[in-house]
Amino acid sequence: MAHTSKAYVLDHKVANIKSHQWRTARNSAAFVIDSIHPDMYILDVGCGPGSITVDFAEMVPKGHVTGIEIGADILSQAQSLAHERGLENVTFGEADVNALKYPDATFDLVFAHQVLQHLPEPVKALREMRRVAKLGGMVAVREGELGTSFAYPDLAGIRNTVELYVRVARNSGSHPDAGRELLSYALESGFTRSAITASASSFCFSSDEDRAMWGKTWSDRLQESSFRKRALDGGFADPTDLESYAKDWRDWMTRDNAIWAHLNGEILCRK
């Protein structure tokens, strides 16, 4: 199986993984946690390093969570995290969301966080997620949009990074506007309008720790990552541009008055 999907413009290098490991059920899945019951069977699609997945496992002591990933290289980290947290009700495996090997109606909740935006056919993936959800079960998805962001100080390199990301993502066949498109994906995949709750919530980074994580994530992505390669290969920037953008991120993260925020679209769909 492919390491990661072709449209996935990021990768599993340390910089990306750090921003994924920061995520918890509380800071990334608040729109769904009130609907989780202790005996639920949950599928976490594109679980990455598993930080949200293991939080879900703690919420379902009488149930089970399965985390799946197309990029098998990251699964050992997810497994180690579950082991460190002493969890026995969570398993991880390699799979493509477009062709899940589960029978219809297997899970109470099928969840994906920041995954559909990286797929060439998000509606196809959502149909497959819907298929494996039980009747009366739920499909929940949250997708961020960097284009909705603000940053202070308003540094040119940060603004240029956002613009570059959107161009590289579009050129790679992924969907940087997936946050606002989620509701229409859900309708197209077969959910009725009355069965869908659409919402939005932000990611905001301003504490010393969060700025260090977000600033380093972008500075590193600009210096060595599949995103950098795609930006250069596509002729969207040259190495001098990328170095100047990275410098602005390093500057931003050291400032006490710095803040970043962007919106995430969310859908909670009942089957």
Which residues form the interface with ligand SAM (CB under 6 A)?
A: 4-5, 8, 20, 23, 45-48, 52, 68-71, 74, 96-98, 113-115, 118-119
Closer to ligand SAM by Cβ: residue 13 or 134: 13
Cβ-Cβ contacts under 8 Å for 100 (sequence gap 6 or more): 43, 68, 128, 129, 131, 132
* CB of 211 closer than 8 Å to CB of 252: yes
Q: Shortest approach of ligand SAM to residue 151 CB, angstroms?
A: 20
Residue whose CB is less far from ligand SAM, 51 or 258: 51
Q: How far apart are CA 89 and CA 60, in angstroms?
A: 8
Q: How wide is the angle at C-alpha 199 spanned by C-alphas 31 and 10, nearest 5°?
A: 80
Phi, psi of 34 (to 5 degrees): -70, -20
The nearest distance, CB 175 to ligand SAM, in angstroms, is: 12
Shortest Å, Cβ 137 to ligand SAM: 19
Q: Which is nearer to ligand SAM, 48 or 215 (CB)?
A: 48
CB-nearer residue toward ligand SAM: 70 or 110: 70
Nearer to ligand SAM, 20 or 216 (CB): 20
C-alpha 178/C-alpha 180 separation (Å) is 6
Burial (CB count within 10 angstroms: exposed 0-12, middle 13-18, buried 19+), residue 65: buried
CB of 196 to ligand SAM, least distance (A): 21
255: left (phi over 0), alpha (psi -120 to 50) or beta: beta
Tell me the residue ranges of DSSP E strands in the chain: 41-45, 64-69, 90-94, 107-113, 133-152, 196-205, 259-270
As measured in angstroms, the least distance from the Cβ of 267 to ligand SAM is 15
- Least distance to ligand SAM from the beta carbon of 111, Å? 9
Toward ligand SAM, which CB reaches closer, 4 or 225?
4
Structure tokens at 141: 């998805």
Q: Is 122 exposed, middle or buried (0-12, 13-18, 19+ CB in 10 A)?
A: buried
Q: How far is the CB of 23 from ligand SAM (least distance, A)?
A: 4
Residue nearer to ligand SAM on the CB measure, 149 or 244: 149
